[in-house]
Amino acid sequence: MTASIGGGRRILVTGGAGYLGSVLSPLLLERGYAVRCLDRLYFGQAPIESLLRDDRFELHRANLADLVDAHEAREEGSPSELERVLEGVDGVIHLAGLANDPSCELDRELTERTNITATRGLGQVARAMRIERFVFASSCSVYGAAADSIVDEESPCRPVSVYAESKVASELDLDALAAEPDGDDPGFTPVYLRQATLFGYSPRMRFDLAVNLMTLHGVSKGRILVLGGGQQWRPFLHTRDAARAFIAAFEAPAEAVRKVRLNVGCDAENYKIIDLARAIAERLAKPENRDRGWEVEVEVAPEDDDKRSYHVAFERIGEVLGWKPEVTVRDGAEEIAQAIEDGKLPDPETTSVYWNIRTLKDALAVPAVDDGEPVRSSFLPFALPLLGREEEEEVVATLRSGWITTGPRTARLEKLIADYTGAKHAVCVNSCTAALHLSLVAAGVGRDDEVITSPITWPSTANVIVHQGAKPVFVDVEPDTFNMDPDRLEAAITDRTRAIVPVHMAGQPVDLDRIGAIAAARGIPVIEDAAHALGARYRERPIGSISKATCFSFYPIKNITTGEGGCVTTDDDEWAETLRVHALHGISRDAWKRYRQDASETSIHWECVAPGFKYNMPDLSAAIGIHQMGRLEGFIDRRRRIARRYDRAFQNVPEVVIPRVDDDIRHARHLYIIMVRPEMLSIDRDRLVLALKAEGIGTGIHFRSLHVQPWYRETFGFAPDAFPNAAMVSERIISLPLYPKMDDRDVETVIRAVRKLVDAYRK
C-alpha cells in the first residue's frame, strides 16, 4: 500500500481500538488516511498506544450510545458531541458494538442500545452532516440456521441469536437512510460487510473466538474440546483480511456498493467445527513444530442445542471489490501459537481483556456512577400512572358535556368509592390534604388543641393540624413496619387531645383495633391517613369503613388517580354534611344543585353557613377516577406480584431489610420500601439513591421524619433522638419502583441494580 491513496482524508473508525479496529487503523494510516478513533476503551488503551504517536491518529474516548442519547436530548440548535466527532470526517467505518453471541445474550437491552440504537443514531447524524460513505460491520451469523444449504447474499436471514438479530435490524435501519446524490448533496451510501467469524493475532487479542480458543487450548493443554457435537458449519476470516475488505469497501465507487450486502470470507475456509479442530491440531503438530511439544488431541462433547450453523458462499465480494483473502485458518493458528510462545500474549487463560464476556461482566459489575455500564439504558421513573382509553373517552365526554366542575361524575365516583369501601358516605375533594383538613374541621379541632399522628408521613398530615391552630404530637413508629407504635400511644394522650391520625404507611394498615380501643375509651375520634391504602384491608374489613373518617389520595402515583384528588369516607351523617359544606366555601348548595334544569325552587338560593374552603373535586378529575376504580383490583394484584418478586430477590441479601407485613391484613402495596444497613456498606443511603439513579432506576424516600424537618424541629424544639425509630429509618429507607405500568423486565432491572450496588459496595 502507498501513502498517496488516502490523500489525508479522515475516516471515523468506531471501535477503532478493538479486535478488528486495532488491525484496521494502522492499515488506514499506511494507506495515507487520517483516522479518528471513537472507542469506549473497555479493553484499555494499550492496543493503540503506538498509534497515538502519529499526528494523523486521533482518539476520542466515549461510548457511542451515550453520544447518541446526548445528541437526541440536546437543545435544538446547539451542537452535540456526536456532531463534533463527525465534523471534518470523509467517511465512517462502524465496527463498535457488542461483538459475539454470549456477550449479547448477557444483557439484551444493552445489546439493543449498543448495536441497534447507537448504529441508527450514528447513521442519522452522518447522513444529516452529508457524510457519504458508511461501511457497517455486519456478520454472516445473520444466516443463523442454514446448514442444509450453502447461503449467499440473496438467502433469507434467519437469526437465532440476539447478536445476529441486532445486525439484521441495523442493516434495515441504515437501508432507510440510504440516498442517491442530489446536486451538492453527496447522498448516503451504507455498505454492509457480513463478516465470517474472525481469527488471528491482533493488538487487542481475543481468545473467545473459535480458532483462537482452539489454538490456545492446543498449545497450553494439548487438547481441543469440541462442543455441540462439532457438526455446525462456520466460515472463518483473518483480521488482516477483514481490515483489507473494509478499506476496499470504503474506496469502491458509490454506485457499486450503495445498500450492497457482501459476505466477507473464503469458500475454502468454511468448516464444520469438528473439522476446524482437526485442521488446527494437524497444523500445530506438523513436523517442524514437533520440538515445541504441540501434540494435540481432539475430543468431542455430546451434541447440544446450538442452532447456529451456516455454510456461506463468498463469490460476490470478489466480483464487486476485487478482494480475496490471503490468510488461512491453518496459517492463523500457527501465528497465534507463535505469539503465545513468544510471550506476546501473557497469561491468556486468566487475563480478562482477552475475553469479551469476562470484560463485559466486569464492566456490568462496576457501578455506573463509577464509570461502569448502567443496568438500564432508559430511565425507569419511580412511579407512573396507568391510564387507558376509557379514562380518555370519559374526560372527552366530560368536556363535551359542558359541565366540568363538581357534578354528576363526581357523585358517581363518590358512590363507587362508598360501595367499594363499605362506607355510608364518600366525599370527594381535590387532595388528601383537603380530606385531612376537612376531617379535623368536622372533629372540632381548634386552637391550642393537640392531634396525635406519626412523624413518618408526608408534611400535609401535620401541616393541616397546624392550620387549625392545633399542635401535632408525634408517636414514634415501629422500626419494622414504619407505622405508629400502639405501645407508645397512651403516653402521648393529654386532656387536650382532640383526634388521633394514624398513617397506613406504604399501604399496610396500622393496628386499628388497639388504636381504636385506646381512642374510644377516651372519646377521641380516629381519622385514618389512608393516602397509601385504598384497597387495603384490616382483618377482612376494608380500610375506609372502620374509623370515624378515612382520608384517601388520588395523586398521580397512588393506587388510583384522578390527576389530583382525594376523598373522605365516613358513616357519620353530620360529619358528611360538614365535610361537603366546608369543601365548597361553606355554602349550602353546590353549582350542580343550583343550576341543573330539574333544580327545585328551594335550591335557587344558597347561603354561606360556615367559612369554608375551595376543596371540591371537579367532574373533569372524577372522570378519570371512575374508570380507575374499575381497575383497582387489577392494579393491586399487579403491585402484589411485583412485591413478591422483590421479596424473593432480597430475602437473602443481609444488607437489605424488608419490612414486616402482618398476616391479618391486606397490604395495598402502594410503596415497596427497603431499609439498607449502612454499617454493612461503604456508602450511605443517599449515595445509594444517587447510584441507583445512575443505573437508570428512579427511587423515592418515604419519608424523612417530620421531627427532623427544619420548620417542625425549630418550631416545636424536637431533638433528633426524640423519636429514635423514626430518626433511624429516616436515614435508611428507599422506595423502589412499584406500579402496574412496570413490566417484568422493568422489575428485573430494579433487582439487578440493587444487587449490583450492594455487591459493589459491600464492606
How far apart, in whole angstroms, are the C-alpha atoms of residue 506 and residue 536? 10
Distance, CA of 434 to CA of 498 (rounded, Å): 18
Separation CA 258–CA 246 (nearest Å): 14
> 134: which 3 cell numbers?
458508511
Of residues 167, 272, 471, 558, which has the active-site annotation?
Answer: 558
* Residue 741 is among the residues annotated as catalytic for this protein: no
CA 644/CA 492 separation, integer angstroms: 36
Amino acid identity for residue 22 in this structure: S
Buried b (16+ CB within 10 A) or exposed e, 234-249: bbbbbbbbbbbbbbbb
Give, as one character, the DSSP assignment of residue 100: S
CA distance 527 to 548: 6
Rounded CA separation 483/475 (Å) = 10
CA 479 → CA 87, 453, 666, 683, 725, distances in Å? 58, 16, 20, 21, 6
* Backbone torsions φ then ψ of 198, nearest 5 degrees: -75, 155
**Residues 688, 682: Cα–Cα separation, whole Å:** 10
DSSP per residue, 568-621: EEES-HHHHHHHHHHHBTTBSS-HHHHHSTT--GGGS---B-S---B-BPPHHH
Coil, helix or strand for 387? coil
Look up residue 148 and give its three cell numbers: 442444509
What 3-state class would DSSP assign to 416?
helix
Pairing state between β 197-199 and 233-238 = parallel
DSSP state letters, 142-194? GG-EEEEEEE-TTSPP---SHHHHHHHHHHHHHHTT-B--BTTB--BEEEEEE
Torsional sign, CA 443, 449, 452, 454: positive
Measured distance CA(745)–CA(380) in Å, rounded:
11
User: At which residue does the C-alpha cell 450453502 appear?
Assistant: 150
**What number of other Cβ atoms are within 10 A of residue 498's Cβ?**
19
Strand, coil or helix: what is 262? strand
Q: How far, in Å, CA of 686 to CA of 734, rounded?
A: 9
Task: Name 431's Cβ contacts closer than 8 Å, sequence gap at least 6.
Answer: 460, 553, 555, 564, 565, 566, 615
Q: Is 522 left (phi over 0), alpha (psi -120 to 50) or beta?
A: alpha
CA nearest to 240, candidates 2, 47, 19, 23: 23
The CA distance from 512 to 625, in Å, is: 27
d(CA 188, CA 130): 7
Which amino acid is located at 276 in the chain? L
What single DSSP character describes residue 430? S
Q: Which residues are catalytic?
A: 558
